[in-house]
Structure 1
Amino acid sequence: MTSTNNYKKKLIEVAIPLEAINAASIKEKSSPFLKGHSRSLHQWWARRPLAACRAILFCQLVDDPSSHPETFVGEDAIEKERNRLFKIVEDLVVWENSTNEEVLEAARVEIRKSCGEVLPTICDPFSGGGAIPLEAQRLGLVAFGGDLNPVAVMIGKAMVELPPKFSGRHPVHPGPKGQQFYRNAEGMAEDIRYYGDWMRKKAFERIGELYPQVTLPKELGGSVSTPTAWIWSRTVPSPDPAFSGVAVPIASSFALSTKAGKAVYIEPIVDKAAKSIEYVVRNSASKADIEQASLGTKAGRGANFRCLFSNAAITPEYVKACGAAGKIGVALIAIVAESKGGRIYVAPSPEHEAAAFLRQPEWVPEQLQPENPRWFSPPDYGMRTFGDLFTRRQLIAMDTLSGLVAEARAQIQSDAEAAGDLIDSAPLRDNGRGAKAYAEAVSVYLAFGVDKVADYGNSICGWNSTNQNIRQLFARQAIPMSWDFVEANPFGKMANISGFCDGIAGGLTGIVPASVSHVHQSDASTTVLDVVNPVISTDPPYYDNIGYADLSDFFYIWLRRSLKEVYPDLSSTITVPKAEELVATPYRHGGRAAAEQFFLTGMTKAISNFAHQSASEFPATIYYAFKQSEIESEGLASTGWATFLQAVISAGYSIVGTWPVRTERAARTIASGTNALSNSVVLVCRIRNISADVVSRAEFIRALKRELPPAIAELQGANIAPADMPQSAIGPGMGVFSRYKAVLESDDSPMSVKAALQLINRELDEYLGGIQGEFDADTRFAITWFEQHGTKTGEYGLANSIAQARGISVESVKHAGIVESSAGKVRILVRDELDADWDPASDGHLTVWECCQHLIRALETEGEHSAAMLLKKIGSEKADAVKDLAYCLYGICEKRSDAKDATSYNALIAVWTELTRQAAAIHDTGGDRQTRLDL
């Protein structure tokens, strides 16, 4: 497919309500227990927020009003229509509206209006966790998802294939029904709950004896309770010859609860004569006790410990040697039980320790973990297979539960047939819709429940003493080593199959199956988009950030055991396919350079494949997630980012926009030193014109200097937050670079994307720095002084030199109320020191600096209404300069690592649209600032 310019620009190519999208994405990411969220179905790594995917798809498909000059005449009419579309997006991204048919239909109407009679098919060749196909389906669009990873494909099928297939069905279980009418997948959700509980009961009948009850101490009531979990520590033989062969704990912490007033810890009491350790639970603990207990037996970072008997050093090398020799053991150090008042902690007993070893598992996964310590630490300590990640009792539980999935499937089919569900006898893989296919569909979700048991039921899960709960294995994208761990009771309250199936069923209730969509196992570099009007929106693997295939083997071994009869093609390999996975993994390709070349070649081939099959009237959207540590060391021209952009451009795309999508609050990212970063960037791409020119470096720079400043000004006019500006400016900058067939350096070699990014960043810095020339002299003095000294004191002589260079004196800046000058010292006044009764209308020496600082103080101390009132008094002539200053000062704060002030300037820009809206509605600024307006 070749490109022409005869297309209508879409909203995403001009402007989007980024602030609202990011706010909704942040809320979604920071609220882990959102009812109805699809992430409840199964673990996947680095899913994009559903709100962002929904908004990006809408903006990708809906025409920008500027594409219809015959309808919207003049800038005012275009802006009014654009704001109307923005309001639809702002409603669309609100989580509570994700199942609101009125809001969803308003969005669908606009999509149909822009797309005409034939709606496009959304294609995501790297569908992963399935967020993009799911949101396309919610918007009434047919979606096609593809992924090489069978775990991802099963997740995608559970999200977009199965719910519409069985939408509106009544549950088939024989128990009391929860309601009379069932919408969407509500009936299937009820069956998932019922048969999940059925599996729990069946499993308890078979292995319940392995999980004995515990008798509480007399001081805790003396009654019998069901344990929630057992806490274990790994052990190694003491390295001290005097205690040779004695197992000593290597524990990261002995703290059980750090909650004020309810602190509990484990005290190991050593009997050197008997060469034994007794673990005693202390229910009354001081702050010092908890601080000491929180150290466990650690003697430094990593695998550095001390021997409780002799205080001898236990080094990482010694621990690894013990692991290789099979000498790492375990010791029970506490039991967690439940009571009406919350968690109860009980000392271990020989009976409970012995119960964990009563039986041998009938099946143990033998698949090897990768020899890649970056993502997998356990192999270094002798835990080489995935089976080694589980205790003997955990393996028995997992084997029992995964086997029960097939039994549940047979029971569901029998119950469905008894309920008269005999549409056909075909299985799911043959597009069946009857009792057999329905039973298979429900069993997919039950298998997901078993995977959740694995995620919380392995020997890497730690104990969180702050909230007194278990930490799942995949709190991050790796399998670390754990020295003390929690063994959850699969029949207790903390982590059981019944509870997990309830959560999975809850996730289904948030799915809106407004179309029939499909997810297949396929290679993005060769897949054929055999659909009508394909539009690309995809979230590819992120260079070397996440080892999806390696990590997902942890789940695949159990899914394959549970679902190989349902999805035989997806279960045909022993482990997840890895050779073709587009991740720059050095250990797999023999080094970093080879891994980078593999990624570049493969990603270019994949993007070229689907780019040239896609519809020409729509742009493509491609997500890229930044690797924080790489950006910190290399900036926005990082290797991963540049390599990915090179693949996109080499595939024949021209990049026409970049939109940063955040899932972390600005204050948090600034505080962590990554304030210039968003979690991901959405690239907006069009196929490059086949007749594109080849230009020189000098011609490219001239074009950049000509086109980038007005583009940045437009981004500022759209109130793009300062933290988002570097990545947003990449769009128009790369738009210049990528529209050429090539940019040649002085030696006629093609300019690299990395070099182009550096030039774009330089032009952005020059533009933002050049803004200073537009400010009054006192403000320019303050900027320079702040850049050099912050709010600290400096020498008067230096201050006077800076002032004279701007044609003023220090006294002028002091008279303006910006600095304090005395005893040969000068410093900028902090906001708290500014005149609380300041009024711009009566200030005879008004500066942009003062206006900006007073506006931030009003916003932070009195809220938006007060700030809007002050903005009205400042007036529109100064207002634009105030916004420019906020951008400028944010950049300075970023370079100074001043997180607090950077947050203030970023926050001002973030609410600028709302402040100007409120200010425009104010007609009387003479009243009380706190008076609420009827807006």
Structure 2
Amino acid sequence: MTGTFGNYEDKASLCKRPEEVNQDWLYSSVWPEVNQHYSRLGINASSFQELVEQLGILRFGHRPRVGDTFSGGGSIPFEAARLGCETFASDLNPIACMLTWGALNIIGASPEKRDELEQVQRKIFDAVDAEITKLGVEHDEQGNRAKAYLYCLETRCPETGWLVPMAPSWVISKTRQVIAKLVPNHANKRFDIEVINGVSKAEMKAAEKGTVRNGALIYDLDGRTYQTPVKTLRGDFRSPGGYTTNRLRRWEKSDFMPQPDDIFRERLYCIYWMHRDTLHKWRPSTFFASVTESDLERERKVEEIVTENLDLWQSRGLVPDMAIEPGDKTDEPIRTRGWTYWHHLFNARNILYLAKYKEYAKQDPVAQLYLAELVNYFSRLCAMKPGGAGSRSEEIWIGGVFTNQALNTFNNYGSRAFAFAPNKFPKRSFGFPAESRVECAASDTIGKDCDLWITDPPYADAVHYHEITEFFIAWLRKDPPAPFDEWTWDSRRAFAIKGSGDDFRRGMVNAYLAMAKHMPDNGMQCVMFTHQDTGVWSDMVGIFWAAGLQVVAAWYIATETTSELKKGGYVQGTVTLMLRKRSAGDRAGFKQRILPAVRTEVQRQIESMMHINDEVKDKHGESVFNDSDLQMAGYAAALKVLTAYTSIGGEDVTSFAIRPRTRGETTVVDEIVQQAAEAANSLLVPEGLGSATWARLSGMQRFYLRMMDMETTGASKLDNYQNFAKAFRVQDYSKVMGEMKANGSRLKQVTEFSSRELTDSTEIGATWLGRIFIGLQQILEEVEPQAVIHQFQQELPDFMEVRPLLIDMLRFIEKKATDTAVQEAAEVLGARLKNLRALGQ
């Protein structure tokens, strides 16, 4: 093979993971060496499972037991079981427990058991498919079968009184060049929607402009353009209590579709068909078509079925009857659509398909897992995108609800037909040799002893899983099959470890204290943690202190692959902390003695990671860790030093850890962790800037130059700017920001600073960098370079001493600035300063 690859991920994509290769073949040459190495211990293994079992017996007297009380999707228990350990997994959330159970009992099943489970699922799908076919709601008169249905909102324009379909674009398929065209129907004061195939490029371009753009309803009628903000359509207003609300009707429990006088109605506007003669083929031929009266009759039939059965289905637990509880994420469907019950997020077809599937699958735990999969793909919250967009070659793309961790509503959406239901069964099976158990319980109520606890705990800014998983809980909570019937089918929001501050710390302390109590003295805990906030790392110190644990090792692992979604300021790795029970006896520490030890450990950690970066960059052309990773490793190093002490400055660490904090309080631990961050940052000299220059710069100057360097690699995540501002102790970083969007942040360019922002009274204006910005602006305004230098001499009493620093920063700006004019100005000014021979010249 010839050619080169752009990065390590491209090369790795050609390879298989170790677990994908025949294990006997892969490791056959390894085991003799392993057995020889451990011969003094009597080890004789021919697989990882045998090795783990034998090592466990030597250390603990039995096969090792691994536990995880924050199991989430179950990756930690799964990998422990794959290596031959007994596993215990628990989570407060029943959806997390179900995913963990599935990983252990479906993918972890023997090949024979896996085949048996697959046959059961196929029978259920075939039974539901036969019933849907018998109802005749997915087939037309010619025998073609629907693959997907496209729906859009429809609203009445307050200016014209016309009903207007709502969509951000009327392009249906780029691959097939299919669009939906709005045709005025003056008799009924609404638009007919025609689906047209094989249109011209000009027509495709015109169709890209939908009727919802920039938060407004925009459409043309009789040569005139009408525009109404969506907020106006909803009737947004401020309530007496100061909350934003609107005049959308709040749907009732009996509702599943809009009423005729609702602000937002719903309309079927296109059907994606599979040709009757190719239904038996693996890839049937397909076509897009306008909606006919026969199609609408089939829609009405579905609606009648749901109307007649909804109460019965809800009472039997086949359809949710659970109200949506307001919250950070669950407010979205309430606010934007008026939906108040979870079944409102599903249209009539969705409800019919899911109710029928659950009726057949009710007593099968594997089928319950598949129900959750179907719920994700049969919903009004499924976005659709035209085929051929980006790298997609399919004719049309319909996603799932959770393409991100939110409950986003759409003006138009795609609804799969049951024939297109996702029903893939895992191909791999492992046949785990040891026992595994999954419990739905809070992390501080465990009753199982484990030799090793491996956890990836919730962070202070964690995703609100306790809210968004209610989307699934609503469908699964009534009459679940064994073993799910042993669990509490509620998100238990009040008990979830979330937020920050005292509640976060108390929840985490109780969790790790419980794990420590259910761990032998020679046991260990492994905690994986990813966070850039100094305050949260201070909290982690207190959490481990109060739980009687000491960090004995900390290292950094690159866990995130580089992708378009991960570029910029996203942390690329995870700090892995190893903890033991803290030794008995007192060890007092004082800030003056601890700080040098922290700095030494930080330097050791950072330098080792930078060495890895250099090695990997030489071999693969890019580094493993970015600046955010290196900064976070400094926190981990501080954690390792601090948790060895039982008192700090005369105060017992356990009492310090659990006492409430006062607002604005800065504790001795906060100071030490902040010092660790500063020690790390002092080592993170931006590429192209001298270390001597970096050492003399103030926090604001370091912040601007560091972020300027990171922006050259695509740093745009606001969290990254916030965290580095804290690390450099910048008072108000917003003053030097050009944009402050969540994923589109950037610094102000040199030319964007006003003269008022560069005075001595501002944080940036009083610095050497601020003087440079003024000088560059003057050069761009064609002021003579010599006059600019003269001004430097007048305003900087130590001009000759700082001249090398100014030259170094100008050289850096010349390389990193995105504006060519600024680059040239920096080159001119830097050259003049470099060639300066005497004062006044």
- CA offset at residue 251 of structure 1? 1.8
Taking the aligned partners of 2:612 and 2:604, their CA distance within structure 1 comes to 12
Taking the aligned partners of 1:342 and 1:740, their CA distance within structure 2 comes to 70
Taking the aligned partners of 2:89 and 2:340, their CA distance within structure 1 comes to 34
Taking the aligned partners of 1:824 and 1:525, their CA distance within structure 2 comes to 59
Question: CA separation of 1:825/1:133 partners in 2, compared to 1, >3 Å: closer, same or farther?
Answer: closer
1:578-593 matches, within 5 Å, as: 578-584=493-499
Q: Does 1:192 align with 2:117?
A: yes
Match of 1:389 among 318, 327, 345: 345
- CA offset at residue 401 of structure 1? 0.7
Q: Is the 8 A contact 2:602 2:638 kept in 1?
A: yes
Question: CA separation of 1:805/1:550 partners in 2, compared to 1, >3 Å: closer, same or farther?
Answer: closer
- CA offset at residue 212 of structure 1? 3.1
Tell me how many residue pairs correspond in the alignment: 634
Match of 1:305 among 214, 217, 228: 217
- CA offset at residue 131 of structure 1? 1.0
Aligned to 1:728: 633
Aligned to 2:126: 201
Taking the aligned partners of 2:474 and 2:97, their CA distance within structure 1 comes to 15
Aligned to 1:264: 178
1:1-150 matches, within 5 Å, as: 104=48, 108=52, 111=55, 115=59, 118-150=62-94
Taking the aligned partners of 2:349 and 2:566, their CA distance within structure 1 comes to 44
Match of 1:324 among 250, 264, 268: 250
Q: Is the 8 A contact 1:693 1:740 kept in 2?
A: yes
Taking the aligned partners of 1:638 and 1:655, their CA distance within structure 2 comes to 18
Q: Does 1:550 align with 2:467?
A: yes
Taking the aligned partners of 2:122 and 2:411, their CA distance within structure 1 comes to 33
Question: CA separation of 1:286/1:807 partners in 2, compared to 1, >3 Å: closer, same or farther?
Answer: closer
Question: CA separation of 1:654/1:290 partners in 2, compared to 1, >3 Å: closer, same or farther?
Answer: farther
Q: Percent identity?
A: 17
Aligned to 1:456: 377
Question: CA separation of 1:645/1:251 partners in 2, compared to 1, >3 Å: closer, same or farther?
Answer: farther
Q: Is the 8 A contact 1:253 1:484 kept in 2?
A: no
- CA offset at residue 656 of structure 1? 3.8
* SS of structure 1 residue aligned to 2:211: coil
Aligned to 2:360: 404
Q: Is the 8 A contact 1:742 1:751 kept in 2?
A: no
Question: CA separation of 1:26/1:681 partners in 2, compared to 1, >3 Å: closer, same or farther?
Answer: farther
Aligned to 1:219: none
Taking the aligned partners of 2:72 and 2:806, their CA distance within structure 1 comes to 60
Q: Does 1:348 align with 2:285?
A: no
- CA offset at residue 713 of structure 1? 2.9
Taking the aligned partners of 1:307 and 1:774, their CA distance within structure 2 comes to 58
Aligned to 2:238: none
Match of 1:674 among 522, 546, 569: 569
Q: Is the 8 A contact 2:168 2:213 kept in 1?
A: no
Taking the aligned partners of 1:789 and 1:206, their CA distance within structure 2 comes to 62
Taking the aligned partners of 1:770 and 1:576, their CA distance within structure 2 comes to 45
Q: Is the 8 A contact 2:138 2:417 kept in 1?
A: no
Q: Is the 8 A contact 1:544 1:640 kept in 2?
A: no
Instruction: Extract structure 1 runs of 4+ deviating beyond 6 A.
Output: 22-28, 33-37, 770-777, 783-804, 806-810, 821-824
- CA offset at residue 357 of structure 1? 3.0
Amino acid at match of 2:72: G
Question: CA separation of 1:201/1:251 partners in 2, compared to 1, >3 Å: closer, same or farther?
Answer: same
Question: CA separation of 1:35/1:382 partners in 2, compared to 1, >3 Å: closer, same or farther?
Answer: farther
- CA offset at residue 663 of structure 1? 4.6
Question: CA separation of 1:824/1:446 partners in 2, compared to 1, >3 Å: closer, same or farther?
Answer: closer
* Per-residue Cα deviation, 1:312-332 (whole angstroms, up to 9, x for no partner): 404225335234375132111
- CA offset at residue 657 of structure 1? 4.0
Taking the aligned partners of 1:400 and 1:528, their CA distance within structure 2 comes to 39
Aligned to 2:404: 476
- CA offset at residue 126 of structure 1? 1.5
* SS of structure 1 residue aligned to 2:247: helix
Q: Does 1:277 align with 2:232?
A: no
Taking the aligned partners of 1:545 and 1:291, their CA distance within structure 2 comes to 41
* SS of structure 2 residue aligned to 1:377: helix
* Per-residue Cα deviation, 1:564-609 (whole angstroms, up to 9, x for no partner): 4653322x55x3333212122xxxxxxxxxx642222111111111
Taking the aligned partners of 2:385 and 2:557, their CA distance within structure 1 comes to 31
- CA offset at residue 134 of structure 1? 0.8
Aligned to 1:337: 273
Can you give the 5+ residue segments of structure 2 that lack an aligned partner in the other structure?
Answer: 1-6, 21-33, 235-245, 252-258, 276-282, 314-318, 615-623, 657-664, 713-749, 751-771, 780-784, 793-798, 813-822, 832-841
- CA offset at residue 129 of structure 1? 1.2
Amino acid at match of 2:272: V
* Per-residue Cα deviation, 1:102-144 (whole angstroms, up to 9, x for no partner): 7745964895597475342111112121111111111111111
Q: Does 1:637 align with 2:533?
A: yes
Between 315-324 and 790-799, report the one with greater CA deviation: 790-799
Taking the aligned partners of 1:771 and 1:110, their CA distance within structure 2 comes to 49
Q: Is the 8 A contact 1:378 1:480 kept in 2?
A: yes
Question: CA separation of 1:707/1:229 partners in 2, compared to 1, >3 Å: closer, same or farther?
Answer: closer
- CA offset at residue 253 of structure 1? 2.5
Question: CA separation of 1:369/1:692 partners in 2, compared to 1, >3 Å: closer, same or farther?
Answer: farther
Aligned to 2:524: 619
Question: CA separation of 1:112/1:717 partners in 2, compared to 1, >3 Å: closer, same or farther?
Answer: farther
Match of 2:452 among 505, 521, 535: 535
Aligned to 2:551: 655
- CA offset at residue 766 of structure 1? 2.3
Q: Does 1:705 align with 2:705?
A: no
Amino acid at match of 1:250: M
Between 473-482 and 374-383, report the one with greater CA deviation: 374-383
Can you give the 5+ residue segments of structure 1 that lack an aligned partner in the other structure?
Answer: 1-21, 38-61, 72-100, 168-183, 216-222, 410-442, 585-594, 627-635, 814-820, 830-935
Match of 2:155 among 224, 236, 241: 236
Taking the aligned partners of 1:189 and 1:35, their CA distance within structure 2 comes to 22
Q: Does 1:211 align with 2:130?
A: no
Question: CA separation of 1:383/1:753 partners in 2, compared to 1, >3 Å: closer, same or farther?
Answer: farther
Between 343-352 and 474-483, report the one with greater CA deviation: 343-352
Taking the aligned partners of 2:498 and 2:73, their CA distance within structure 1 comes to 16
Taking the aligned partners of 1:617 and 1:25, their CA distance within structure 2 comes to 42
Question: CA separation of 1:621/1:789 partners in 2, compared to 1, >3 Å: closer, same or farther?
Answer: closer
Aligned to 1:432: none
Aligned to 1:180: none
Amino acid at match of 2:518: Q
Taking the aligned partners of 2:169 and 2:65, their CA distance within structure 1 comes to 53
Question: CA separation of 1:565/1:300 partners in 2, compared to 1, >3 Å: closer, same or farther?
Answer: same
Q: Is the 8 A contact 2:333 2:407 kept in 1?
A: yes
Taking the aligned partners of 1:163 and 1:192, their CA distance within structure 2 comes to 11
Q: Is the 8 A contact 2:9 2:561 kept in 1?
A: no
Aligned to 1:293: 207
* SS of structure 1 residue aligned to 2:357: helix
1:730-749 matches, within 5 Å, as: 730-744=635-649
- CA offset at residue 386 of structure 1? 0.7
Question: CA separation of 1:195/1:807 partners in 2, compared to 1, >3 Å: closer, same or farther?
Answer: closer
Q: Is the 8 A contact 1:744 1:750 kept in 2?
A: no
TM-score, scaled to structure 2: 0.65
* Per-residue Cα deviation, 1:775-825 (whole angstroms, up to 9, x for no partner): 999xx9xx9999899899989988997998499999x99xxxxxxx99994
Aligned to 2:333: 378
TM-score, scaled to structure 1: 0.59
Match of 2:577 among 683, 690, 696: 683
1:395-544 matches, within 5 Å, as: 395-406=351-362, 443-465=364-386, 466=389, 467=392, 468-490=396-418, 492=419, 494-495=420-421, 499-500=422-423, 503-506=424-427, 509-531=428-450, 534-544=451-461
* Per-residue Cα deviation, 1:399-451 (whole angstroms, up to 9, x for no partner): 11101014xx5xxxxxxxxxxxxxxxxxxxxxxxxxxxxxxxxx211222222
* Per-residue Cα deviation, 1:61-85 (whole angstroms, up to 9, x for no partner): x9xx9xx9x99xxxxxxxxxxxxxx
Taking the aligned partners of 1:373 and 1:398, their CA distance within structure 2 comes to 27
Q: Is the 8 A contact 2:132 2:138 kept in 1?
A: no
